[in-house]
Structure 1
Amino acid sequence: MKWEYILKDYLTYLKLERGLSVNSISSYELDLIKLINFLKVKSISASPLTIDQETLQLFLYEIAKELNSRSRARIISGLKSFFNYLIFEDYRKDNPTDLIEAPKIGRKLPETISVEEIDELIAAIDLTKTEGERNRAIIETLYGCGLRVSELTNLRISDLYFEEGFIKVTGKGDKQRFVPISDYNIKYITIYKDQVRAHQEIKPEASDTLFLNRRGAQLTRAMIFTIIRQLAEKANIRKKISPHTFRHSFATHLLENGADLRAIQQMLGHESITTTEIYMHMDRTYLREVLETYHPKKT
């Protein structure tokens, strides 16, 4: 059985059975294509049904030359999933990755930025330019609602329930959730929507999309990264800031100000509370303050 045939089957399974997002499916596909290309370059005639542990180890040794431990661990995890799928579909009886260990990696916590630094980023926006109000609304929404970048770019006008104080967000696996939005955040989205977007020529396919580029089309993930990077440079902030930095800061600041972890979990759209806990990189001083404030026998 050819790799291309089984790969197509597998990607369909990830989409329909596991409900993974387009980005996750793309990552699985690219990692398997790396393996397929390796076999071609090395002239190794191994099919998905016959490839063995030794061949996979050779592949992993090869990619170790150019990838860090975190990327290698992700690829190994993807390979394990792929061969488990083959077993599930009765293509194979064994998983050749069973004895392959992923490199040990620590949990790398994303950088956070302070409220003051967020204010500095916003202050760096040139509101005299057409895109100024849009960029302010983008920053306020990333931080104010803790959205993933894909959730932000896919946000629609019909998802805005401002009277109720919520927005409807489509997250990983096309799962939807309602996220509360502050009046402060609503104000800047409304300014952009009514004073800038309303006067744009909009492409038909983007008629309901909230955040648009200059050509009236949906903004890309890459453009959001670029906007944030340029603002950070202009504000002279040395930290490595990405859209996810705002999401992490959103969760961290809520927790530090006494928000319930379960509520944060719901707002972030995490299925497991364990995932939410990874975001909560509280220092020991803060934990001490929590104990002294809330424990019944604090004195």
Structure 2
Amino acid sequence: MTCTKVTLRKKAISKGRYSLFLDYYPAIRNPATMKMTRREYLGIYIYQNPKTTIEKEYNKEVLHKAEGIRAIRVQSLINEEFGFLDKHKQKANFLNFFYEVALSKDQKWMMVYAHFSIFVNGQCKFEDVTIDLCRSFRSYLLNAKQLKNKKLNVSNNSAASYFSTFRALLKIAYRDKYIPENINNYLEKIETEDTKIEYLTLEELKKLANTPCNIPVLKSASLFSCLTGLRISDVLKLDWNEIVLASDGEFCMRIRTEKTETETTLPLSKEALELCGKPGSGKVFEGLERSMVYQPLKKWIEQAGITKKITFHCFRHTFATLQIALGTDIYTVSKMLTHKHVSTTQIYADLVNSKKRESANKISLK
């Protein structure tokens, strides 16, 4: 086997500059086009006759970087990796890629796509996706206005969640070899701020269950979340073929969670199964729309006489806190919530402990 030699060369161009390129000998074949090639222009330039100290330092630094690229190419050839030849991927539309990926995910991905599209003014190729661009998008999210209410800023925790989603997209792009390196290695995540976790007490949950709702499927799905701890994304896509009979004769859910992409089997109580309605095919909560968990849910909560600021995600908190308060060990609750680490579940145990302290202080001999 002939080993290809890679040499850094220069070509004189306009304005007293040299264009740097790599010379491959013998020529190498592009696996995408099947064409043989000897030259790869790097798109970087140096001065032909540097006159000032700044120009000389510039030449020295650029030549050092070009030599680094040459060394990377030699390593790629040894490993028979020819991704650097596939230039058309760099010219491809990153926004189109983002949109296609977002379509297969949940609504949050579409919101992040909308923000990024605004940020880049509707135009972005893969070659534009640099560390600096991604860091600038991070700064944009920390100061961005909400899409639906231009008077309000995106909250810090929403910005953190959005940037985490964007970083997940970068990981996919790197995996599929649309970008040459894992940019995530150079990005700092946005730290979340501690927020008050709202949840329903058992009495409030019973009150809600006894309160009529104008949208029956919203009520069923909400109470189902309280009894199972499922996120809205998983409730929305829950299919009848995922509800199966377990070896103990009871029913369970075999699902792949949307957020963590975890394969799991979760037992279903008789009450939770009843909320699913008559068994059939397709979506379990047919007709449920994400838009229902905003204003319609808020209205139903108010009709139940509950003054807490309850969102659909609070039903997951409700499941966790009630389970721990009623004696279920934290390890089991962690598995039911499909948390990867028990430490994530610890916050609910802390909530229950604070409630125990409150109840202890209610009895006083003074």
Q: TM-score, normalised by structure 1?
A: 0.65
Alignment partner of 1:220 is 2:289 = yes
Question: Paired residue for 2:344?
Answer: 275
Question: Paired residue for 1:294?
Answer: none
Alpha-carbon distance in 2 for matches of 1:93, 1:175: 26
Q: TM-score, normalised by structure 2?
A: 0.55
* Matched-pair contact (CA < 8 Å) for 2:95–2:117: no
Structure 2: segments with no counterpart, 5+ residues: 1-89, 146-153, 359-366
Q: Which residue of 148, 170, 179 maps to 1:91? A: 179
Deviations, residues 19-72 of structure 1 (Å, cap 9, x unaligned): xx721xx5446435533433337xxx8743245555555544444142222233
Alpha-carbon distance in 1 for matches of 2:268, 2:129: 51
Sort the Cα spacing of 1:4 and 1:137 in 2 relative to 1 into closer, same or farther, 3 A.
Answer: same
Q: Which has the higher strand share?
A: 2
**CA-CA distance at 1:235 after TM superposition:** 1.4
Q: Which residue of 92, 112, 119 maps to 1:31? A: 112
**CA-CA distance at 1:93 after TM superposition:** 4.9
* Matched-pair contact (CA < 8 Å) for 2:255–2:263: yes
Q: Which amino acid aligns with 1:95?
A: I
* Matched-pair contact (CA < 8 Å) for 2:119–2:137: yes
Q: Which amino acid aligns with 1:256?
A: A
Q: Which residue of 105, 110, 126 maps to 2:197? A: 110
Q: Which residue of 219, 228, 234 maps to 1:145? A: 228
**CA-CA distance at 1:113 after TM superposition:** 0.8
Q: Which residue of 309, 331, 334 maps to 1:240? A: 309
Alignment partner of 1:189 is 2:275 = yes
Q: Which amino acid aligns with 1:38?
A: F
Alignment partner of 1:211 is 2:285 = yes
Question: Paired residue for 1:4?
Answer: 93
* Matched-pair contact (CA < 8 Å) for 1:141–1:185: yes
**CA-CA distance at 1:252 after TM superposition:** 0.9
Structure 1: segments with no counterpart, 5+ residues: 16-20, 198-205, 213-217, 290-299
Instruction: Say which structure, 1 or 2, has more relative contact order (CA 8 Å, 6+ apart).
Output: 1
Sort the Cα spacing of 1:101 and 1:115 in 2 relative to 1 into closer, same or farther, 3 A.
Answer: same
Sort the Cα spacing of 1:47 and 1:145 in 2 relative to 1 into closer, same or farther, 3 A.
Answer: closer
Alignment partner of 1:70 is 2:154 = no
Q: Highest CA radius of gyration, 1 or 2?
A: 2
Q: Which has the higher helix share?
A: 1
Quote the RMSD (CA, aligned, Å). Answer: 4.1
Q: Identity of paired residues, percent?
A: 20
Deviations, residues 190-225 of structure 1 (Å, cap 9, x unaligned): 8x53xxx9xxxxxxxx8443333xxxxx32232355
* Matched-pair contact (CA < 8 Å) for 1:154–1:209: yes
